[in-house]
Amino acid sequence: MRKMWYNGRRTNLYIGESPNGGTMLSLDRISFSVETEQGRKQILKDVSFTIDSPFTVITGPNGGGKSTLAKIISGIYTPDSGKIYFNGQDITDLGVTERARLGVSYAFQTPVRFKGITVSDILKIAAGKDLSVSEACECLSNVGLCARDYLDREINNSLSGGELKRIEIATVLARKTPLAVFDEPEAGIDLWSFGSLIKVFENMRDSVNGSIVIISHQERIMNIADKIVVISAGQVERQGTKDEILPYLFKHDSMCDALKGKV
Partner 1 sequence: MIDQIEKNLLKEIADLHGIPEGAYNIRKNGQTESRSENANVTIVTKTDKPGIDIYVKPGTTKQSIHIPVIISKSGLEEVVYNDFHIGQDAEVVIIAGCGIHNSGACASKHDGIHTFYLEKNAKVTYVEKHYGDGEGTGEKIMNPQTILYLGENAYLEMNTTQIKGVDSTDRITKATLEAGASVVVSEKIMTHGKQYARTEFQVDLNGEGSSAHVVSRSVAKDQSHQIFDSLINGNSKCAGHTECDAIVMDDATVSAIPRINANNVEAALVHEAVIGKIAGEQLIKFMTLGLSEKEAEEQIVSGFLK
User: What residues make contact with Mg ion under the rule CB under 5 A?
Assistant: 66-67, 109
Rounded Cα gap, residues 222 and 56, in angstroms? 8
The span of 12-20, 46-54, 65-73, 87-95 binding ligand ATP (CB under 6 A) equals 65-73
**What single string gives the DSSP state of each residue in 31-50?**
EEEEEETTEEEEEEEEEEEE
In whole angstroms, the minimum distance from the beta carbon of 233 to partner 1 comes to 26
Rounded Cα gap, residues 77 and 72, in angstroms? 5
68 binds, among Mg ion, ligand ATP, partner 1, none (CB under 5 to 8 A by kind): ligand ATP
147 counts as binding ligand ATP under rule CB under 6 A: no
113 counts as binding ligand ATP under rule CB under 6 A: no
185 counts as binding ligand ATP under rule CB under 6 A: no
68 counts as binding ligand ATP under rule CB under 6 A: yes
48 binds, among ligand ATP, partner 1, Mg ion, none (CB under 5 to 8 A by kind): none
148 binds, among ligand ATP, partner 1, Mg ion, none (CB under 5 to 8 A by kind): none
Which residue number, 65 or 82, has a Cβ lying nearer to ligand ATP? 65
Of the residues 25, 57, 64, 177, which one makes contact with ligand ATP according to CB under 6 A: 64
Of the residues 9, 29, 40, 41, which one makes contact with ligand ATP according to CB under 6 A: 41
- The b-or-e profile of 117-156 (16+ CB within 10 A means b, else e) is ebbbebbbebbbeebeeebbbebbebbbbebeebbeeebe
C-beta of residue 216 within 8 angstroms of C-beta of residue 222: yes
In whole angstroms, the minimum distance from the beta carbon of 49 to ligand ATP comes to 15
178 binds, among ligand ATP, partner 1, Mg ion, none (CB under 5 to 8 A by kind): none
* Neighbouring residues of 168: CB distance < 8 A, sequence distance ≥ 6: 107, 108, 111
142 counts as binding ligand ATP under rule CB under 6 A: no
In whole angstroms, the minimum distance from the beta carbon of 141 to Mg ion comes to 27
Q: Strand order in 211-215's β-sheet?
A: 104-107, 179-183, 211-215, 55-59, 227-232, 235-240
